[in-house]
Chain A
Amino acid sequence: MAESSTPTSSAGKSGPAPILFDREENLTADTFLRGLWKENPVFVTMLGMCPTLAVTNSAINALGMGLSTTFVLVVSGALISLLRNWIPKQVRIASYIVIIATFVTIVDYLIQAVSLELYAALGAFIQLIVVNCIILGRAEAYASKQRLVPTLVNSLGTGLGFTLALLSLGTVREILGNGSILGIPLFGSDFQGWLVMILPPGGFFVLGAWMMLFNWLRLRKERRTAASSGVTAHAG
């Protein structure tokens, strides 16, 4: 996963450099927005599929999972960014994993402290955040090369993008599967739930449907820009 849009050059670095005055990506709106849409972790880069399919059977589970992941993403990103000039290249993955695992453990405790029901619903997937490729991917591709503030902003954008993606699955699955949203019934007691939507296959169906919609929108936009700039549209 390459950050093609950022002028990265970690080759010239040697020794501790001032953290906030490193020459790397300048903070722009895109630093934040990229993760939400253009590089959405679920719908575009297709990372973190396991929790995406497994714990989105209701909106509250999706939200809990998304926010936990965002927390780990932001905090571990920040620490990795701060330590980036001290972490030797040879042991960087080990270091990242230790840092990420630390924050996952903390999240695990925090969720138990907030709600045991949510903790039971999310099950092993809380602990599995540690192997979520989105977090390791961000650490390797961004946090390890960028200053603190852009890292915070970028991680937050990616995390919210992930949360939004999970929520978009979770709401559809909860509405169709259970007739409710965030546990509040929408259609009364006579609603016929679509059992398959709560079961694992429902995750695949809804993920596929959302990806189809987003790809269709993207293709349509590309075709329009191509048409307006005078280039023949390649679709047909």
Chain B
Amino acid sequence: MPRPIEIRTSPHLKRAISVDRIMRNVVFALLPICAFAVFQFGLSALLLLLTTTGVAIATEWFFSRMSERGSTVSDWSVVITGILLGLTLPPGFPLWMAAVAAFVGVALGKAFFGGLGYNVMNPALVGRAFVQAAFPVAITTWTPAFAPGRFVELIPSTLTMPFMRPEPVADWVAGLNLDAWTGATPLALQKFQHIEVPLLDNALGLVAGSSGETASLLILACGLWLAFRRMLDWRIPLSVMAGAALTALPFWLMDGNLYPTPWFVLCSGGLMLGAWFMASDMVASPVTARGAVIYGVFIGSLTVFIRLFGGLVEGIMYAILLGNAVGPLISSWTQPRIYGVVKKTRESSQP
């Protein structure tokens, strides 16, 4: 049964927007990104996406049975969680670890809090943060994009036996005879060797990275489509991007050799995917318009600070999780004044 959003005061919508209609649209918007991920990284990325989505759905089904509330799988939100999780993991990530991530994400990030609408943080990122802490080596093992034979063979680490250490991919990559493969993502290259990949490669997604985060322009297009259909709050992604670019700008002006250009910041890593599809999570972001902007800028600039000065190469995940955590606080700070109520000034508050 579709769950209706109940909106009683104005604006009076002509058509009831149900949760599952919005969620279905988000899934549609994610499909081109998934397709590109599979095109770019081949069968391994496909299996990865199927695993995370399948395990996420199964976990949701299991916990909604346990809670005796009836199944909430049909509202499509868990499908988004599964797909997003798959898109943020490296393409050769062992499937058993991906399953752990999906289970932990949906169970710990969502079911334990009471299901959709009650989760404090984005479930996909909770799952990813858990495996980042549990398997730090596997989650930073990258494989080249557009490897020859990617549609007929799997990355060797994909089919690792459960609970076993993944096979090193270095030998397999060496066997591909790729020129210019350094084993690093553009972010790592920039951070440690201060080399920026060409902007166009980065924006089109011709580089290594997590399976679905590389094609910045495609993600931007899909996100814009959703925003025009009013299925997501455009303020959040735009303010994340603005926050990131404006934070990176002064550093780049100070030392252009050491610090990345603002456009590199926008196009690299998971920033675009995070801004459009994860920070904008309806449940875990502030509800007020002003709050959404503050929240977005907070995430964007925190991402850049983690990237430039933190021990980690990419910071969008922790930035969004922290943003989710302070989201309710931002909401309550930015409550709009009730119409007709005069703002209390210092003079008027003192009798």
9 shortest interchain CB distances as A-B pairs: A196-B133, A194-B134, A192-B165, A196-B134, A190-B164, A190-B165, A195-B134, A192-B164, A195-B136
Question: Which residues of A have CB within 8 Å of B97?
Answer: 192
Which B residues, 143 to 190, have Cβ-Cβ distances below 8 Å to chain A? Answer: 160-161, 163-166
Which A residues, 154 to 179, have Cβ-Cβ distances below 8 Å to chain B? Answer: 179
B347 at the interface (CB under 8 A from A): no
Question: Which residues of B have CB within 8 Å of A192?
Answer: 97, 135, 138, 160, 163-166
Identify the interface centre among A191, A196, A197: most chain B CB within 10 Å of its CB.
A196
Closest chain B residue to A201 by CB distance? B133
SS class, residues of chain A in contact with chain B: loop
Which A residues, 173 to 206, have Cβ-Cβ distances below 8 Å to chain B? Answer: 179, 187, 190-192, 194-197, 199, 201
A236 at the interface (CB under 8 A from B): yes
Which B residues, 34 to 64, have Cβ-Cβ distances below 8 Å to chain A? Answer: none
Distance between Cα atoms of A195 and B130 in the complex (Å): 10
Closest chain B residue to A175 by CB distance? B163
Q: Is the CB of B164 within 8 A of A195?
A: no
B68 at the interface (CB under 8 A from A): yes
Q: Which of B68, B133, B135, B165 contacts A191 (CB 8 A)?
A: B165
Question: Which residues of B have CB within 8 Å of A191?
Answer: 163-165
Question: Which residues of B have CB within 8 Å of A199?
Answer: 133
Question: Which residues of A have CB within 8 Å of B166?
Answer: 192
B contact set with A: CB distance below 8 Å: 68, 97, 130, 133-136, 138, 160-161, 163-166
Which A residues, 86 to 128, have Cβ-Cβ distances below 8 Å to chain B? Answer: none
Question: Which residues of B have CB within 8 Å of A187?
Answer: 163-164
Q: Is the CB of B165 within 8 A of A195?
A: no
Tell me, rounded to whole Å, the shortest Cβ–Cβ distance linking A228 to chain B: 20
Distance between Cα atoms of A236 and B133 in the complex (Å): 36
Beyond A192-B166, A197-B134, 15 additional contacts (C-beta under 8 Å) are A179-B163, A190-B161, A190-B164, A190-B165, A191-B163, A192-B97, A192-B135, A192-B138, A192-B160, A192-B163, A194-B135, A195-B133, A195-B134, A195-B136, A196-B134
Distance between Cα atoms of A196 and B127 in the complex (Å): 13
Question: Which residues of B have CB within 8 Å of A197?
Answer: 134
Distance between Cα atoms of A192 and B134 in the complex (Å): 10
Q: Is the CB of A236 within 8 A of B68?
A: yes
Question: Which residues of B have CB within 8 Å of A194?
Answer: 134-135
Tell me, rounded to whole Å, the shortest Cβ–Cβ distance linking A173 to chain B: 12
Identify the interface centre among B133, B135, B136, B160: most chain A CB within 10 Å of its CB.
B133
23 contacts between A and B (CB under 8 A): A179-B163, A187-B163, A190-B161, A190-B165, A191-B163, A191-B164, A191-B165, A192-B97, A192-B138, A192-B160, A192-B164, A192-B165, A192-B166, A194-B134, A195-B134, A195-B135, A195-B136, A196-B130, A196-B133, A196-B134, A197-B134, A199-B133, A201-B133
